[in-house]
Amino acid sequence: MEGCRYQDLIRWGDAATVLAKRGQERPALYKDGRVSWNEQKNASAGFKSGKHELLPFPATEMNVNKNMTQNPGW
């Protein structure tokens, strides 16, 4: 089952632990060709508990069904 790891982590309750550090370090590329993986942080990346367990409903679906409410955090 390729490409299902994200959903597996959500289902198993392991997503917050495994994905919390995803994307926090990114490469710093220098003009002289050096690359460093520890210098720049991407604070907006990572898994947020209470939000990323569910996906947002598309706006088009929300517009069609006025009784529908958006998932928490979205």
* pLDDT tens digits, one per residue of 1-31: 566 788 888 899 888 888 776 666 667 778 8
pLDDT digits (tens, 9 = 90+) for 34-72: 877 665 555 555 678 888 888 999 999 999 999 999 999
With respect to residue 50, please indicate whether it lies within any of the assigned structural domains: yes
Residue 69 lies in a domain: no
Q: Is the pTM of this model over 0.75?
A: no
Range of the domain at 34: 5-64
Residue 28 lies in a domain: yes
pLDDT at 64: 96
Report d(CA 74, CA 67) in Å as an integer.
Answer: 16
Compute φ and ψ for 65, nearest 5 degrees.
-115, 100
